[in-house]
Amino acid sequence: MVIQNNVGNRNGPTVIVVFEKEPLTVLTYLFCVLGKPKVSSFAKGLSFARKEVKRNLFAWIYQQPQAGVPLSHILVRLKVA
């Protein structure tokens, strides 16, 4: 994975970073830092992402019975049956 960033003005140096190891970690970092409305630190972004995943999971669980899905199917889908 190559991330290219022009530092400074148009004639400034170009920084190229090559990640050969742990690309998933790099993608996680980028998502957590840049994947929210306001750019922030990795720790805040990770906390935001974890809370968002939980909110989405709870919303999905709440919506399934309303759509007529039996509890047994929900538990199988969540791999807790």
| Residue 61 · residue 53 · CB < 8 Å | no
Q: How far apart are CA 67 and CA 64, in angstroms?
A: 5
The domains of the chain are located at: 2-77
Summarised one tens digit per residue, pLDDT across range 15-27 is 455 556 677 777 7
| Residue 33 · residue 41 · CB < 8 Å | yes
pTM (predicted TM-score): 0.60
Summarised one tens digit per residue, pLDDT across range 25-49 is 777 877 777 777 776 777 888 888 8
